[in-house]
Structure 1
């Protein structure tokens, strides 16, 4: 008997040792006293020692269980006490000492019963399955986010160009809601990446929009930011307050918007940076795993493709519109040229026929001959304009510079303008004013005189053509190696929306075939092209029904500077 007792004691000692040192959590519940005994491993799973839980009761264990799992725990333990249900397995969350929740798996069953079969004790194991649960959770999350990105990519397939902005905004909303982001946005660059605009934005509940404040921003203000984006690198800032000194400008703006964390991913097509997509966290810090950043780059790539397609489509639409407009312009040009050529030809042929048939009184022969001469001269001018269209191809134009004095150029221009006005029948209604500056008149420089004269002649012809009465003013100046001519008239002027069109070939302010002014509409276009060849600029300022001012600016090489003059201007009025 004594020997048997020793064996039992030895076994109990072994079991107690195993209970204390086991690498799995072990628990024992006495249903009569409601006391729960646990080993060190069980206690360590939730951040305690076994000594801290030496007085653990079932009620305390139940309170450690997550509220959502308490019903499962109670039902599982109760079921084990019923006949035919001796074992159980379930998973529940227990509260860790640090306040977090630990996923555990509980296995157990009835370990002791009385003679009537009523449960006296339950025993079992407790296993930490947090890593397994987290792995499954991560796998499910990875599947969902990949489905999200795949769905966003599908949304962009086959969309119409006008739908691009709408689909981009939808993509921002989907990403923002799935990742619990406070604000998602897109910035696009313009003007060779010197300016950026906030073009798209989605904000979570309670988050204020910043879009209207983030327009027309110089990218030079964000040197630290742009340095990384230009290398097509993403920017992840876990804590804005910890940004480096180099990012002081960016840090100040982000703090003003109360941003805690953010991720910025470049939007680029091939290696062409187009903008960036950003994600702001305002309420709390957000960590961005590399896998998530990689998927966000896929979204950015999808948006880049959409933007690139939109740009190309807009270019094609503009090209189509330009081609259609070109066809219309050419049709108008052909109608105009038909009218402009036929009119003087009819005069020449008609009056010549009358002279040939001797049907004109001798005293009127001179008048008819004069009409034939003027019609022939008009026809010659039209033919010259048509031939000058060759200047549309810059490759055939050569610049031939010569040394000439400013006063010599002025006298050439004055002679041309005086002659043109006399030939126009407007000499009595238009007053000519000449204002060459002394610095211009007394200097010598290297220029292509013939090309400058060609431009000036076109400007003077237009000034006379479109001025019924009033003043035409000629100014010439030399400032900082730039030669400037200003032709100002008090004519009909040009409407604001027409002021750029007049420099296109075959265009006038009035393109209709019944317009009041002759000409085929190439003079200003040729002048603009020649000016470009000379490295200069030709501009216009005009008010309809008040007049126009054309300014020709040409860079020159000064050979001899003008002597200091007493008077600032030399005015000549004809």
Structure 2
């Protein structure tokens, strides 16, 4: 009995170029039957090699150690059956067809074999069908494997998509980047099962540091905050978006990385860059420490998809952070603007500026310094806590700073590491005692003139972005506005104070002049009335001819003297009244008087001298009966208004109209005279102002009547208004309150 046949057949004569050979396992204890199978396959020009066995032990060994494309087995041998061969094939996990080659097999037995898992069968007397059955079975299994591979691919894709969806969902649920990246590394670790999974991100100096580590990572606590030294060696590849695979056995990796791989016990490393629009935002790193691992295309594809989503999430978080930062910056600027607009106190405004700047930049100290007489003096200060030493009032020579650290107060000064400055001086040495000090200073110009600067000191951060420097310059501009306003306000206060003093002096002079004028007019009026009384008295006696008769010419002259004396007396009385009112010595005798009687008394004075071409009219509302006023002064006002109307009206009518409103009685004198032009109306109520003030005056008068009447009206708490149009007459209205408020 032959135990093992291991006959590698020679290549057939008509072998197709490049066509692979089939590897067959033939289970048969009869050599002649094996040869017949071989002949049948060669006749069909099938390229193959084969192994032949006749016992289960060797069959199992071959199935465990070699890969075959098909098994040809006799249905029943003396030692075992095809069912046992099928069992061994299933245990080997090889998905290949098992074809029975049998002498006789009934239909029922064939169905049972197919149900059990055998692929097909061929009768020995019909071996010419073996090539066809073999090819059909191979095609069937190839299709089955293809379907299984498709199913596996679909499952992997579904798994990848599920992971990606979970990451995307996490991005949608929160804008907190740390939470998104933490859930990403945990999900990726569960999917790919590496030894370590983490995300590294760059700092302000573009150095990569481990920030987010999965919960299942080996030695997780030791990884957090570790600097990544791999990135500089593959910077160009990462900028192109390439995924880097590093193997322990790869002799081409840099020597520095070989030592790193040994120290971290790394067998394989997979790194996917986080790239967004040519900007490297970090990377996802996978370590495999327990075995040599070959990363397949599906795993790399999954990592690539997740890295793309992470890059988008980081970019969105950066945009959101920038938006929040811009909002906070604009809020700070608005608060500073409100402080400037709400107060003129420079101390308060500048203190608010340094406070808001410190809170906005989250620094330790903010100062405003002035440069005077080549000295830097700190004039305002804000500190984040009382533990920060105060520099308020500190003064130092500007020349020493310029020489020591190339400091220019006229431009932006930025020193991320003051302790690293090599220059030495007393002031620089003091600054160097503060560890990790970062200084940023911007100049302040007031109307293009240099004032000083705004400076921030930070001990917990070493980087200020271009946007932050620009913001500090904008705040310095606000401080310049506040300082300019303060200077302008101080100058304005000085000017106002000086002008107030001048006005007070002028007022004192004016009051003194007015008092002197009033006293002069009052004294002169009294002095003039004494001889005038004698003139009027003597002229009256002469007119009455008590001491003898007069001829016509003498009567004419005496009458002229008497008329002129009366006119002069009226002028003197008006002057006395005016000066008394201006001096505040005029007192009204208010009483309840009959309006109708007062009006009739006033009109009676003009009835006898009324011209035939001129009509005198009177109209009073039926609901007007009494009013509260000084009767003598009310008559004086009305007589003055009527006299003025008669003076400037030759034909037409003059009307005294009385009506009332809820708060006052209106006495209106309406004429159809010459009217008053708008420019003349503006000066109408000023003393000694007349409509015809030229050399050839047509109308008599002193110009005191209207001025005195308005003052008397206002003394009652009322007023006199005028409405007039040149050539169309005038209307003067006395407004007399129902309850006079004496002014």
Could you tell me the TM-score, scaled by structure 1's length? 0.42
Could you tell me the TM-score, scaled by structure 2's length? 0.33
